Amino acid sequence: MSAEASPPAAQFDEVVHAPVRLRVCGLLAAAEEVEFSVVRDAVDVSDATLSKHVKVLVDAGYAAVRKAPSSVRTDARLLAWLRLTPAGRRAFSAHVAALRAIAEGLAP
């Protein structure tokens, strides 16, 4: 297995650890990208709360937002699509590994 393909070392990440951001990262890790309202409904928060947490992830370089017109809406409103960046995927995987180590009593 190459160094790029090996799993990241366990690393607790305060940015990812906040409960809403952890849930958002988990949802985004399972997909290429997810529409904002789907994420909002899945994590059961308001638009404003999700926006705040997405901004933290974007500012950390862990997430990206793409805005595009809706294929079904007739108005000019854009839909926001969220995705984890490669750095975000690594950070989330490393954080989950750290949580597993803690749960198994292996963390220092």
Strand order, beta sheet including 63-69: 34-35, 78-84, 63-69
Average pLDDT of every residue of the chain = 90
Q: What is the pLDDT of residue 53?
A: 98
Q: 0.75 exceeded by the pTM?
A: yes
82-106 tens-digit pLDDT = 999 999 999 999 999 999 999 988 8
Cα–Cα distance for residue pair 63/54, rounded to 1 Å: 7
pLDDT for res 106: 80
- State the Cα–Cα distance between residues 19 and 16, nearest whole angstrom: 8
Give me the pLDDT at residue 42, please.
Answer: 97
